[in-house]
Chain A
């Protein structure tokens, strides 16, 4: 079990960045736990605290009762061998073959050559790379590279696997395959998996529990089913929205910005209370601002009407009062 208790981390510099603020989480054994949030929310920092790639300023991270923040030197390195980690960009040893990569943790552990090879080949089979043992990773596809990374992370039989955006650099089909593999490993080995992603869809597919993170804090957590059925935080609703409609909000923003480079492009998020009234129409009428709805995505969910509308306003107009009115009505407005 991993217990994260009141952990904080600030990056000191010209401008201090408070990346993780007093976060507490509990991850049970054999659970797949997802943390989702937008870029910069502090997800990577939080997951890197778990194996101490980043040192916490305060708080405790208990792994089976042992506070990893207190460990140093050899003891920390031993504990790290109990925690596998995979990354968005695979982070393989590019000068070594697939087999040598998978063997690397065993080399560090000081296993004799023959055992090393046996163990590594077994692991390579587990992830479906038995026919790639002698090739160099640069010749592999993204999915295969991540398989090497998974095999390398699991060859020491850790209890925990940390995944930092492990599928974010992969196409949807490969993502699916890697997620399936993680699911299989979780079942077979009883591995506890802590994964972070900015995509709710990824989390929803394989996680049992999830936490939503924003601005260094956990804004909501619970079982995936509960949260999807009854999200309370606006951010959670927005993230779920992207899954329901299959629209990637960030991608849509970029596409629209390309299409409407001039003028103001606004993204307005409706929540359950606001979408029943003709707010947008009446404000536009009142301020005499011609608005152009360029994309709309409203949907009924169990939590009420949720949705995002993109509107475009011509350049000359001053949109200050318009924004103020919208916010007054409880709408979330962002200038894209």
Chain B
């Protein structure tokens, strides 16, 4: 038992890296991208009725999100191999999985941001405008705090998605628990190892969900 766990220590760390490194990058990029989509839409922040530049920007960024969200992760992984080589200098190891994980999680979080912002009361945005708030203030002092619970619970969902993607990233030798369970547990017929690795993944998901829910409940004032 203890032997099993020590054997899984390395893969566990890899899974954590494969989850949280792309999570942080994707949440930041996704938030910015989602904000761009939201304010260029008919959201009442900027008057888009005669602004063709904004309308086109909105259409394009929306299309990018939809395309990347509908392509399966494994395909993105393969597409990105050449770029990965350029970016991180190698196509093996956990570092090599980061670009593809970011590329698949960023549009997801961007969409979640748009949804979270859309749920903010339009009247509240309008009232802030009437009080003299500029667009920057509306985004960071109104939209962001008002949609904090939704943005946080989306981080949880994104993290859990990343755990399952990271298992697939094992295909390029990214390591992690999923890869361990598959490669050593299933193929090399070591059932205890397979079950233990799977159990750890399940536990990890439970912990993230639990802690996430706790935080969301604490910040939700509605």
Q: How many residues on chain B are close to A (CB under 8 Å)?
A: 23
Partner of B146, one of A74, A94, A105, A152: A94
Cα A81 to Cα B141 in complex, Å, equals 17
Interface-facing stretch out of A61-69, A82-90, A318-326, A327-335: A82-90
Partner of B127, one of A77, A87, A95: A87
Residues of chain A from 71 to 121 with CB closer than 8 A to chain B in the complex: 74, 77-78, 80-81, 83-85, 87, 89-96, 104-105, 107-109
| Across-interface contacts of B124 in A (CB, < 8 A) | 91-94
Cα A93 to Cα B134 in complex, Å, equals 16
| Across-interface contacts of A60 in B (CB, < 8 A) | none
| Across-interface contacts of B130 in A (CB, < 8 A) | 51, 53, 80, 83-85, 162
Question: Do A108 and B133 touch across chains, with their CB atoms under 8 A apart?
Answer: yes
The dominant DSSP class at the B interface is helix
Q: At the interface, yes or no: B49 with Cβ under 8 Å from chain A?
A: yes
Q: At the interface, yes or no: A122 with Cβ under 8 Å from chain B?
A: no
Q: At the interface, yes or no: A259 with Cβ under 8 Å from chain B?
A: no
Q: At the interface, yes or no: B69 with Cβ under 8 Å from chain A?
A: no
Cα A149 to Cα B127 in complex, Å, equals 9
Partner of B126, one of A78, A91, A138: A91
A152 (CB) vs chain B CBs: closest residue: B131
Question: Contact string, A122-141, partner B, CB cutoff 8 A, digits 1/0?
Answer: 00000000000000101000
Cα A87 to Cα B219 in complex, Å, equals 26
Question: Do A108 and B132 touch across chains, with their CB atoms under 8 A apart?
Answer: yes
Q: At the interface, yes or no: A30 with Cβ under 8 Å from chain B?
A: no
Q: At the interface, yes or no: B55 with Cβ under 8 Å from chain A?
A: no
Least CB distance, A144 to chain B, in whole angstroms:
16
Q: How many residues on chain A are close to B (CB under 8 Å)?
A: 33
Question: Do B222 and A138 touch across chains, with their CB atoms under 8 A apart?
Answer: yes
| Across-interface contacts of A156 in B (CB, < 8 A) | 131
Question: Do B123 and A89 touch across chains, with their CB atoms under 8 A apart?
Answer: yes
Residues of chain B from 118 to 159 with CB closer than 8 A to chain A in the complex: 121, 123-124, 126-134, 137, 141-142, 145-146, 148
A90 (CB) vs chain B CBs: closest residue: B123
Question: Do A81 and B221 touch across chains, with their CB atoms under 8 A apart?
Answer: no
Q: At the interface, yes or no: B10 with Cβ under 8 Å from chain A?
A: no
- Give the interface centre of A83, A94, A109, A156 by most chain B CB atoms within 10 Å: A94
| Across-interface contacts of B132 in A (CB, < 8 A) | 77-78, 80-81, 105, 108-109
Q: At the interface, yes or no: B47 with Cβ under 8 Å from chain A?
A: yes
| Across-interface contacts of A85 in B (CB, < 8 A) | 127, 130-131
With A94-B146, A95-B221, A138-B221 as contacts: A87 and B131 at CB distance below 8 Å: no
Q: Which 9 A-B pairs have the closest CB atoms?
A: A91-B123, A91-B127, A77-B132, A81-B132, A80-B132, A85-B130, A136-B221, A95-B145, A105-B131
**Which residues of chain B have a CB within 8 Å of any CB of chain A?**
47, 49, 121, 123-124, 126-134, 137, 141-142, 145-146, 148, 219, 221-222
